[in-house]
A = this chain, B = another copy of it.
């Protein structure tokens, strides 16, 4: 499990010592480090690569083994097999071994692809992840997965591998658009709803401030979210997903499908927000989740400027998401819902008529909000 999770404001500036310390090495030989950066992040901060190189070159005990290299972000980095070949060839060229380090700086897709290469080289080079999206800082950065797309299928190739360290740096988020920035917080709402009423109330009180990137609210939301995700992975008893229940996939059966139906016009975080809204409504109608919790969840999402509705919910195709979700892990369908704040419950079937009603309920909230907004 992730033993080293650090929070910094500017890890290539004032907080460099915090970053430096994660690179353990014997007294007589420096930590050998290769660095891969998301080209979008490098564009948004055009001195970043130079600062990284200078910092590593000047630090005692650290050795940057070759030039900082750029990679595309988003699904492109996971779709292009030549990128994986290039990563592996670079690892071989620089003679990295299992005590060397690969530092990956980027969004979830880049962390996935670089992490995959790091995991299969010599059964695992040490991977230091610096997530540059709120989504990856709040959730996936501490995950124990990596993946690339193969046979035209998302995440077909991949392994379970624990990163050596995860450094959540506030400064690396500056380049994000407001839309992308807000996308990270749907996973925070999800994990708060399932696991931590105090955090849920914090989000209810501060959703607008978070959406407007106000500190310390936004960073605190990321910190609480990632700690709850990490605790689930560490203490949940199923880090490698051997069991059928996937509690952290609350809201995800429809989210995955909505992304596909909209041809990825919806970002993952937006689709998850919609998925949460729908499953909260269903939990209210079918499992007796108190209506004030359902209402409150909806308003948190809305105050975060996240969508709760998409027209794709009116079609039938979204329900195919249930079967696809089942197939993903095989075996019986298992969907995590919520009975009350902090009380998740697994169910093995979804009543379609009740789900239709839930979708209508969400549509009503959405319309009300749209009307208010006018």
Contacts and interface: CB of A to CB of B under 8 A. Distances in A.
A99 interface: yes
A86 interface: no
Interface in A35-63: none
Contacts of A241: 98, 123
Instruction: Give the bracket for the number of chain A residues in contact with chain B.
Output: 35 or more
A261 interface: no
Contacts of A157: 88, 120-121
A319 interface: no
Indicate how many identical chains form the complex: 2
Contact of A97 (B89, B98, B121, B330): B330
Given A99-B329, A330-B97, A119 B159 contact: yes
A312 B200 CA distance: 69
Given A92-B151, A120-B120, A123-B147, A98 B156 contact: no
A167 B63 CA distance: 46
Contact of A26 (B92, B97, B240, B332): B332
Interface in A76-104: 88-89, 92, 97-100
A179 B150 CA distance: 42
Contacts of A231: none
Given A150-B88, A331-B29, A159 B99 contact: no
A282 B97 CA distance: 29
Given A99-B329, A329-B99, A92 B156 contact: yes
A24 B121 CA distance: 32
B160 A124 contact: yes
A123 B115 CA distance: 13
Q: Which of A29, A99, A241 has the most CB of B within 10 A?
A: A99
A156 B331 contact: no
Given A92-B151, A147-B123, A151-B92, A327 B97 contact: yes
Interface in A303-349: 327-332
Nearest to A27: B332
A89 B153 CA distance: 12
Contact of A122 (B124, B156, B161, B240): B156
Contacts of A331: 26, 29, 99
B330 A99 contact: yes
Contact of A145 (B26, B123, B158): B123
26 contacts: A26-B331, A28-B332, A29-B331, A88-B150, A88-B157, A89-B151, A92-B153, A92-B156, A97-B327, A97-B330, A98-B329, A99-B329, A99-B330, A99-B331, A120-B157, A120-B158, A121-B157, A122-B158, A123-B145, A123-B147, A123-B155, A123-B240, A123-B241, A124-B159, A124-B160, A159-B159
